Amino acid sequence: MKLHKIQKKDFGGQEIYVGIEVHKKYLTIAVKSEFLEHKTFV
């Protein structure tokens, strides 16, 4: 069994932005805060 270290992040007081782009055959979702890009799903 593999153990994973859990890290808590505090985004208190920051704006969180979620962008969704839709095309015929794919979907892209980006999650960003005021200071950095967190994750992009394709």
pTM of the model: 0.51
Q: Average pLDDT for residues 18-41, to the nearest whole number?
A: 81
Residues 6+ apart with CB under 8 A from 17: 30, 31, 32, 33
Q: Which of 7, 11, 3, 1 is nearest to 31 (CA)?
A: 11
pLDDT for the residue 23:
86
Q: Is the pLDDT of residue 42 over 70?
A: no
pLDDT for the residue 1:
65
Q: Tell how strand 37-41 and strand 16-22 pair up.
A: unpaired
**Cβ atoms of 10 and 22 closer than 8 Å:** no
**Cβ atoms of 41 and 28 closer than 8 Å:** yes
